[in-house]
Copies of this chain bind each other. A is one copy, B any other.
Amino acid sequence: MPKYMDIASLLLALDLGGTAVFAMSGAWVGVKHRLDAFGVCVLAFVAGNAGGMLRDVLIGAVPPVAFRGWQYVTISLLAGLVTFVWHPRLERLHTPILIFDAAGLGLFSVSGTQKALAYGANPLIAALLGMLTGIGGGMLRDVLVREIPTVLRKDLYALAALAGAGVVVGGPLLHLPPIVSTIGGAALCVAVRLVAIHRGWGLPTPDHPFHF
C-alpha cells in the first residue's frame, strides 16, 4: 500500500512537472507579445492545462483534473510569475527548457492516452486524445496571441506525441506489461522529439511534399 502511494505521488509529481514546464512556455510567449502580468499568467495556465482540460471535457470527466484541487492552478501561476519576473535571465535556459518540454510532452501524451482508455475510448481515439493532451495547451496558447499554432506548421512535435501514445495503446496487443508500455511510450516520445530537434526533422509541406 505505501508502495502504491509512492507511485501515485511520483506520477502526480511528474504530471505537475510537465504542467510547470508547459506553463513556462506559455508565459514566455506572453512576455514576447508584451501581455501584462495577468495575461502572462493566463497563457501559463492555458499552455499547462488546456490539453488535459479538452481531453477531460471530451471524455466526460468533468470537472477536469486541473480544477479538482489547487495544485495545477498554483504551479501554473507560479511558473507564470517566475517567468514574468525573471524572463531576462531565463533566455539562456533555452536548451534545458527544450529538454524539459520534450519530457512534458512524453508524460502528457502517455498519461492522456491511459486516461482515455480508462474512460472506454477505443485505441485509435485514445491515442488521438493522448496526443491532444500533449499538444492542445500549446495550440490554444498560440491562438490567444494570434499565431497559427506552431505544431501545425513545423517540427516533429505532434508525431512524437502520437508515437508515444501508439506504444501505450499497442502494448496490450503485444502482451507487454502496462509499466513497460507506459515507460516505453514516454521514452519513445522524448527520443523522437529530441532527435527531431537535433536533426531539424520536419514533416512534408505543400511546397516540399513527398513525390508521387
Q: Collect the chain B residues with CB atoms within 8 Å of residue A64's CB.
A: 58
Interface residues of A in 19-39 (CB under 8 A from B): 30-31, 33-39
Q: Collect the chain B residues with CB atoms within 8 Å of residue A119's CB.
A: 63
Q: Whose C-beta in chain B lies nearest to the C-beta of A150?
A: B39
Supposing A63-B121, A122-B69, A143-B144 touch, asked if A151 and B38 sit within 8 A by C-beta, the answer is yes
Q: Assess whether B58 is in contact with A62, with CB atoms less than 8 Å apart.
A: yes
Stretch binding the partner chain, chosen from A2-10, A91-99, A180-188, A197-205: A197-205
Q: Collect the chain B residues with CB atoms within 8 Å of residue A43's CB.
A: 152
User: How many copies of this chain does the complex contain?
Assistant: 3
Q: Assess whether B146 is in contact with A38, with CB atoms less than 8 Å apart.
A: no
- A73 interface residue, CB < 8 Å from B? yes
Q: Assess whether B144 is in contact with A85, with CB atoms less than 8 Å apart.
A: no
| Closest beta carbon of chain B to A59's beta carbon, Å | 6
A154 to B63, CA, bound (A): 30
Interface residues of A in 160-190 (CB under 8 A from B): none
A63 to B62, CA, bound (A): 12
Supposing A63-B60, A85-B212 touch, asked if A35 and B152 sit within 8 A by C-beta, the answer is yes
Q: Assess whether B84 is in contact with A38, with CB atoms less than 8 Å apart.
A: no
Q: Whose C-beta in chain B lies nearest to the C-beta of A126?
A: B67
A92 to B87, CA, bound (A): 42
Q: Collect the chain B residues with CB atoms within 8 Å of residue A152's CB.
A: 30, 35-36, 38-39, 42-43, 144
Interface residues of A in 103-156 (CB under 8 A from B): 119, 121-122, 124-125, 128-129, 139, 143-149, 151-154
29 contacts across the A-B interface (CB closer than 8 A): A34-B153, A35-B148, A35-B153, A35-B205, A36-B153, A36-B154, A36-B202, A36-B203, A36-B204, A37-B205, A38-B152, A38-B159, A39-B152, A40-B206, A42-B152, A42-B158, A43-B152, A57-B58, A57-B62, A59-B62, A63-B125, A67-B128, A67-B129, A69-B122, A73-B125, A84-B206, A139-B144, A143-B143, A146-B147
